[in-house]
Amino acid sequence: MNIQNMKWTREPLDFHADDNRVEITTGPFTDLWQRTYYHFRNDNAPVLQMKTKEKFFSFVVKTDFAQSHHRFDQCGIVMYLDSENWLKASVEYENDSFQHLGSVVTNHGYSDWATTAIPAYVKTMWYRLSRREDDYCIECSQNGVTFSQMRVCHMWEGAGEISFGIYACSPEDSSFKAVFTDMQITPCAWKAHDGQQPD
């Protein structure tokens, strides 16, 4: 995967990128969220992405967030189409005891948030985003080999050309360095469903 093909949607406070590694230093009060429950709208997180019209593929990346230290500090995988249509998956720092492994899907200007608590000592996470036309699967892994499904979703505006990649942000008054490595694009690892209905 060529990082040179990736373009910024809002540059971060600071960053460094080479062939195998991207480091993003987040700025305070940066986030992605639309309307639901909290009613506010935040659309200023830095996003580094590439475009594709490929209908079937997987994108894998390893994230290192050892420097996260303030509530909601986060970094992960993203597919950002526009301010009202996107998805993301990340680990969000909460406190010294636990953090949230979760994902957000935003369709037509409304976000959801699905999370599970994981121990605070976890400081790296792999993600795999897979596309089958306008349906998507997000998976995570702690070793880059065995992946577990986080969610399957439909993107109403995700049938044509899309943009996908990485992001990092600090929704409150914080800043940290997020590190991304081992990025690759592979044939779609999310196989077609061939079971009975319902399976």
Q: What is the 3-state secondary structure (H, E, C) of 13-66?
A: CEEEECCCEEEEECCECCCEEECCCCCCEEECCCEEEEEECCCEEEEEEEEECC
What's at 163, amino acid-wise?
S
What pLDDT, in 10s, does the model give residues 118-175? 999 999 999 999 999 999 999 999 999 999 999 999 999 999 999 999 999 999 999 9
pTM of the model: 0.95
Class of domain 3-186: mainly beta
Q: What is the mean pLDDT of residues 4-17?
A: 94
Confidence of residue 41 (pLDDT cuts 50, 70, 90): very high
Q: What separation in angstroms does the CA of 105 have from each of 16, 28, 34?
A: 28, 23, 10
The predicted pLDDT at position 199 comes to 63
The whole-chain average pLDDT of the chain stands at 96
Q: To the nearest whole percent, how much of the chain has pLDDT over 90?
A: 91
The predicted pLDDT at position 197 comes to 79
